[in-house]
Each structure stands twice: as structure tokens, then as C-alpha cells.
Amino acid sequence: MSANPSPTADRELVITRLLDAPRELVWKVWTRPEHVAQWWGPDGFTNTIQEMNVTPGGILRLVMHGPDGRDYPNKIVFLEVVEPERLVYKHTGEAGTEPVNFHVTITFEAEGGKTRFTMTSVFPSAAAKAFVIENYGADVGMIQHVARLAAYLAKEGKP
């Protein structure tokens, strides 16, 4: 017998990856601005962190500078912070930008000195999910985002 699919499956983008770094290091590079600025986003992007407070109700404001020369303001409001196990946040565009709103749950599971990283983004509708895939390449971008995290961790984990 197969398990019932998630009731939000048609609205989700999910990526799971076993990262070759201990959970505490993965948590650190996800929650400190000096690290986040170095790896956030898809290939070719750089970042300016304007504000970062990883606490419930805290905000991360960052501007992703695209390889196309365009700036992409982002605002994240942290809803749940359970160090070093789980982050839950709402991602929104800043006022005056395209509405890109979704809910993200990230889990960091220790697995033999490595970290099983799972990032689940849930959009308000299947149409909203389709919009970000078609207009921003969010599905491929999410894979690149986590690959950049893995590459940064490989560099940071060296003595």
C-alpha cells in the first residue's frame, strides 16, 4: 500500500541532499550573514545582506544581484527557529516588487557526521508555483542554491 501524497504536493518544491558537513556547520552557514552572503541563490548571483535576525519574528532582508544586472529584493520572516534542527520562514517580495510569497521549512538532520538537508517550499496555489518556475526558474534555481551551499560548506569545512 502506498502512502497518501501530501495535501499540498501540487504546490510544493522539495529538495533533499546529504551535505558532507556536520549539522552545526550547516546551521552556522545558514544563519550568519557573513556566510549567507557568500552562497545564497542560484548560479551567477551575488548578495547584499541588509538585515538578518534569525529568531522567531526576525527578518532577513537581502538583495540578490543577478547575472542579468537586475536586483531582486527578498524579505524573509522567520516563524520558527529550532537550533540546529529546523528553520521555518515566510518568503516575500519587498513592496513594489513582483509578489513571490511562499512558506519554507528546512530540516537539518545529523547523519554520521553529515547533514541530511531538506528544504520544502509551499506556494499559495499550484498557479503561484508555476509562476515562479516559469518566470524565475525556481525549480532549477533551488537545485543550484543548495549546490552552492554544498560547495561553500566544502570550502568552509577545510582547516
pLDDT digits (tens, 9 = 90+) for 120-158: 999 999 999 999 899 888 899 999 999 999 999 998 875
Q: How far apart are CA 100 and CA 72, in angstroms?
A: 11
Per-residue pLDDT averaged across 44-64, rounded?
96
Amino acid symbol at 53: N
Point out which residues pair with 12 in neighbouring strands.
122
pLDDT of 136 reads: 83
**Backbone phi, psi, residue 75, to 5°:** -135, 130
Domain boundaries, the chain: 11-156
Amino acid symbol at 72: Y
Q: Which are the contacts of 67, defined by CB distance < 8 A and separation ≥ 6?
A: 43, 44, 45
pLDDT of 1 reads: 47
Please give the residue that has the higher pLDDT: either 21 or 101: 21
> Superfamily assignment of 11-156 in CATH?
START domain (3.30.530.20)
3-state secondary structure of 99: coil
pLDDT tens across 64-105, in order? 999 999 998 889 999 999 999 999 999 987 664 556 789 999
Report the Cα 23 to chain-centroid distance in Å: 16
Q: Where does the pLDDT of residue 15 fall: very low under 50, low under 70, confident under 90, or very high at 90 and above?
A: very high
Q: How far apart are CA 88 and CA 90, in angstroms?
A: 7
Using only C-alpha atoms, the chain has a radius of gyration, in whole angstroms, of: 15
Q: Which of 48, 42, 68 is nearest to 60 (CA)?
A: 48
Burial of residue 63, with CB atoms counted within 10 A of its CB: 0-12 exposed, 13-18 middle, 19 or more buried:
middle
